[in-house]
């Protein structure tokens, strides 16, 4: 396994994780981690995220999947961050097409257009490929990711974002499920509307050329830590549009062409 340098003590990691857990409960914000701890590394950020994750599991929440972020040029340019990241998804963060979603559950609410892969078999690195991902996938379904940021936005680095569970808040799943061999995945479109007006457009090829590449990246990343992706997990492959800010009263609609549509309203 790859050893990556840590810059924070265990006590500092625990303190930051507790701050973020409190911000999650209160839907509040904390000061930027890297402004207070400039020595913090990416390994520290995953340690912070992991401590928060373990606390959620201890409370009885069930892990249902992972999100992968910053896999497209659009998202990298929007955030100023040049490498992918990942976070965890729990059972109480999953919404369905047509949902009315309370804005007060989240902070700095934004929407991203994505595809989600549901695995029928485990995926393991270190040499996981796109073809391996497609073979292990039960079905692909359109999804909207709800971004949820508990750290002040200005000046954030990837360390701040990863620590905050990669800014994941929730997922809205569509109802159209396709096997990978039923559709040309890179050319799945996304036309994102807010209150009837087109705000963002893109195609899934914007995610590393093929959305399955993000899943392969994550499987290989997990191998560095002695872990793998498990059958039954839902994996958000990464956005192929820029994030869209939303507020209470907004209706969001996304048309994925042959993969159907998703509509939700923020209340």
Three-class secondary structure assignment of the chain: CCCCCCCCCHHHHHHHHHHHHHHHHHCCCECCHHHHCCCCCHHHHHHHHHHHHHHHHHCCCCEEEEEEECCEHHHHHHHCCCCCEEEEEEHHHEEECCCEECHHHCCCCEEEEEEEEEECCCECCCCCCHHHHHHHEEEEEEEEEEECCCECCCCCCHHHHHHCHHHEEEEEECCCCECHHHCCHHHCEEEEEECCEEEEEEEHHHECCCHHHHHHHHHHHHHCCCCCECCCCEEECCCCCCCEECCCCCEEEEECHHHCEEEEEEC
Q: Name the CATH architecture for the domain at 63-266.
A: Alpha-Beta Complex (3.90)
Say if residues 183 and 170 touch (Cβ distance below 8 Å). Answer: no
Averaged pLDDT of the chain = 93
Rounded (10°) angle between helices 10-26 and 42-58: 60
CA separation, residue 56 to residues 52, 69, 168 (Å): 6, 21, 14
pLDDT at 206: 92
Kindly list the domain boundaries of the chain, sorted by start residue: 63-266
pLDDT at 236: 97
pLDDT at 1: 41
pLDDT at 4: 58
What is this structure's pTM? 0.93
pLDDT at 80: 63
Stretches in the chain below the pLDDT threshold 50: 1-3
């Amino acid at each position: 396994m790859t050893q990556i340098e840590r810059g924070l003590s265990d006590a500092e990691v625990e303190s930051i994780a507790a701050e973020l857990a409190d911000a999650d409960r209160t839907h509040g914000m904390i000061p930027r981690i890297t402004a207070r701890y400039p020595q913090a590394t990416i390994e520290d950020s995953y340690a912070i995220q992991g401590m928060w994750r373990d606390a959620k599991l201890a409370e009885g929440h069930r892990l249902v999947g992972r999100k992968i972020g910053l896999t497209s040029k659009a998202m990298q340019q929007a955030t100023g961050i040049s490498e992918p990241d990942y976070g965890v998804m729990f059972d109480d963060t999953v919404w369905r097409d047509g949902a009315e979603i309370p804005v007060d559950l989240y902070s700095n609410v934004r929407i991203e257009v994505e595809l989600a892969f549901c695995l029928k078999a485990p995926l393991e690195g270190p040499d996981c490929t796109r073809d391996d991902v497609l073979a292990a996938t039960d079905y692909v379904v359109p999804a909207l990711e709800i971004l949820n940021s508990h750290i002040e936005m200005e000046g954030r680095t990837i360390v701040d974002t990863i620590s905050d569970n990669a800014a994941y808040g929730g997922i809205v799943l569509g109802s159209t499920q396709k096997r990978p061999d039923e559709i040309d995945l890179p050319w799945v479109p996304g036309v994102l509307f807010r209150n009837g007006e087109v705000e963002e457009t893109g195609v899934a090829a914007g995610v590393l050329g093929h959305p399955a590449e993000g899943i392969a990246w994550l499987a290989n990343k997990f191998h560095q830590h002695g872990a793998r992706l498990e059958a039954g997990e839902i994996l958000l492959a990464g956005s192929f549009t820029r994030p869209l800010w939303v507020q209470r009263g907004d209706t969001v609609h996304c048309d994925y062409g042959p993969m159907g549509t998703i509509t939700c309203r923020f209340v």
